[in-house]
Amino acid sequence: MTKQFDVIVIGAGPGGYIAAIRAAQLGFTVACIDEWKNAQGGPAPGGTCTNVGCIPSKALLQSSEHFEHAGHAFADHGIGLKDLSIDVAKMLARKDSVVKQNNDGILYLFKKNKVAFFHGRGAFAKATEQGCEVTVGAESLIGRHVVVATGSIARALPGAPFDESTILSNDGALRIGGVPKTLGLIGSGVIGLEMGSVWRRLGAQVTVLEALPTFLGAVDEQIAKEAHKSFTKQGLKIELGVKVGEVKAGAQGVDIAYTDAQGAAQTLAVDKLIVSIGRVPNTTGLNAEAVGLQLDERGAIVVDADCKTNLPNVWAVGDVVRGPMLAHKAEEEGVAVAERIAGQHGHVDFNLVPWVIYTSPEIAWVGQTEQQLKGAGRAYKAGSFPFMANGRARALGDTTGMVKMLADATTDEILGVHIVGPYASELIAEACVAMAFRASSEDIARICHAHPSLAESTKEAALAVDKRTLNF
């Protein structure tokens, strides 16, 4: 028997499950379909983010950071440790339990909000008078509206498919069973730096091969330079401007042939190789052709600024559409689409989507970089404040990096905030709020910030825009 819903969401990653919950809050009958399976074959909603992305990577970053602190920083605090060791199996089991808590949390939220959850692959069948028909296994559902949130998958190097044993995607990278002696990474983007940091902290010799000649090209140059200095000092070997050639996996590991920035032929032999060269939109099995859903040449679903596809009442959000592949961007689009279905005016401001790289030091930013402002010919003022001059950072024992603020030269409106240093991931929220309210740097400079706190560095960076820092 066909089941009828106001809204069917395909995919229960951050884009899909949030869209489903918001639609249910708005009074719609909602179904959410997701095919992800846990190790027992049961449902594991939460998508890439929960299962093999944001959550497990942060769990491992935390474990490995504890290990690094115990090995290198505790002694400064007078804490002595003998026989420090890492039980990788236990660390991975903890990560898995953090993932499960999140899977279970989403199932609970579906129940609480009366979202009907279907475990299986959702595929378009046909368009009908009542809406699109979508099948999940033997079941048939009809939705007045359909929201596609099928996410993305890792891109493999041509000729070197993932085997998840020696050539790893993000999936395999999150479950390496023991610390490899040598680890190679292709791509010094977000995954490369985060996963490279995890395994370096645990003792692997890590080499990252990056095609572009500049390190973290999308990041503010000054911040990227500071981060590069830190990572190199930590022992992460980053080679820029390389051209990767043949990649051969064997019983002993992986051999990578490449040309370095000077044009010389090189080889790298590693125990494991993580390929992190970006992700591609995922529409596998969606049967988009059955209803004529339009995809672009990258395989992304074509949407307008409101996430409307070429089909009436079919929407798409998150990694499967244009824009940054970030969980919070997917969530914002999910909320906005549910609200638009309800006739409201959901809105996502791409300029206010923050980015965070959870390395040590953390890197976070929102808005425009200095190079973007220069490129656009916009007159701006810049102010920065080093954590070295912040009392809380000194007490933490982590004084790397800075907060940098960019403001319009005439109006003083904040145009971008860039942070490299401790808890940048948390500090960036103040900048997002300020920019959402179109604050000026003077607004931040005049707000009382708790002492001692890292956030005082944001206030000081705002003061620096007007060349009047108090503590530097």
> Distances in Å between the alpha carbon of 441 and those of 85, 380, 384?
47, 11, 12
- Of 418-457, binders to ligand FAD (CB under 6 A) are none
Q: Which does 16 bind (CB under 5 to 8 A by kind): ligand NAI, ligand FAD, none?
A: ligand FAD
192 binds ligand FAD (CB under 6 A): no
Catalytic one among 119, 228, 328, 451? 451
Residues 6+ apart with CB under 8 A from 106: 12, 17, 45, 46, 50
9 binds ligand FAD (CB under 6 A): no
Contact 84, 67 (CB under 8 A): yes
* Interface residue with ligand FAD, options 9, 48, 288, 435 (CB under 6 A): 48
> Distances in Å between the alpha carbon of 458 and those of 325, 333, 401, 461?
27, 29, 12, 5
121 binds ligand FAD (CB under 6 A): yes
Please identify, using beta-carbon distances, which residue of 54 and 419 lies nearer to ligand FAD.
Answer: 54
- Of 216-255, binders to ligand FAD (CB under 6 A) are none
Shortest Cβ 95–ligand FAD spacing (Å): 12
> Distances in Å between the alpha carbon of 399 and those of 337, 393, 434, 453, 457?
42, 5, 24, 13, 11
Q: Which does 143 bind (CB under 5 to 8 A by kind): ligand NAI, ligand FAD, none?
A: none
Please identify, using beta-carbon distances, which residue of 9 and 60 lies nearer to ligand NAI.
Answer: 60
* Nearest CA-CA partner of 36 in 7, 12, 72, 54: 12
Stretch that binds ligand FAD, among 79-87, 262-270, 321-329, 380-388 (CB under 6 A): 321-329
Please identify, using beta-carbon distances, which residue of 333 and 460 lies nearer to ligand NAI.
Answer: 333
Contact 37, 70 (CB under 8 A): no
- Of 11-30, binders to ligand FAD (CB under 6 A) are 11-16
> Distances in Å between the alpha carbon of 210 and those of 156, 249, 254, 288?
15, 19, 17, 35
Structure tokens at 271: 């125990």
Binding-site ranges for ligand NAI (CB under 6 A)? 186-192, 194, 209-212, 244, 276-279, 324-326, 356-358
Q: Which does 15 bind (CB under 5 to 8 A by kind): ligand FAD, ligand NAI, none?
A: ligand FAD
53 binds ligand FAD (CB under 6 A): yes
Q: Which does 149 bind (CB under 5 to 8 A by kind): ligand FAD, ligand NAI, none?
A: ligand FAD
Residues 6+ apart with CB under 8 A from 93: none
Please identify, using beta-carbon distances, which residue of 122 and 386 lies nearer to ligand FAD.
Answer: 122
The pairing of beta strand 2-10 with beta strand 30-34: parallel
Please identify, using beta-carbon distances, which residue of 189 and 386 lies nearer to ligand FAD.
Answer: 189
Please identify, using beta-carbon distances, which residue of 18 and 244 lies nearer to ligand NAI.
Answer: 244
Active site residue 66: no
CA atoms within 13 A on the CB side of 51: 22
Give the burial string for 344-362 (b: 16+ CB within 10 Å, else e): eebebeeeebbbbbbbbbb
Shortest Cβ 290–ligand NAI spacing (Å): 29
> Distances in Å between the alpha carbon of 320 and those of 25, 187, 298, 412?
24, 21, 10, 37
Shortest Cβ 192–ligand NAI spacing (Å): 5
Shortest Cβ 137–ligand FAD spacing (Å): 10
Q: Contact letters (x/-) for ligand FAD, 146-175, by CB under 6 A?
A: ---xxxx-----------------x-----
What are the beta bridge partners of residue 32? 9, 117
Amino acid at 115: V
Shortest Cβ 48–ligand FAD spacing (Å): 3
What is the helix (H) or strand (E) element at residue 185, kind and residue range? strand 182-186
Q: Which does 361 bind (CB under 5 to 8 A by kind): ligand FAD, ligand NAI, none?
A: none
| CA 368 to chain CA mean position, Å | 19
Shortest Cβ 54–ligand FAD spacing (Å): 4
3 state DSSP class of 372: helix
Q: Contact letters (x/-) for ligand FAD, 171-190, by CB under 6 A?
A: --------------------
Shortest Cβ 55–ligand FAD spacing (Å): 8
Contact 280, 298 (CB under 8 A): yes
Which are the catalytic amino acids?
Answer: 451
Interface residues with ligand FAD (CB under 6 A) are: 10-16, 33-36, 47-49, 53-54, 57, 121-122, 149-152, 170, 191, 282, 285-286, 318-320, 325-328, 330, 358
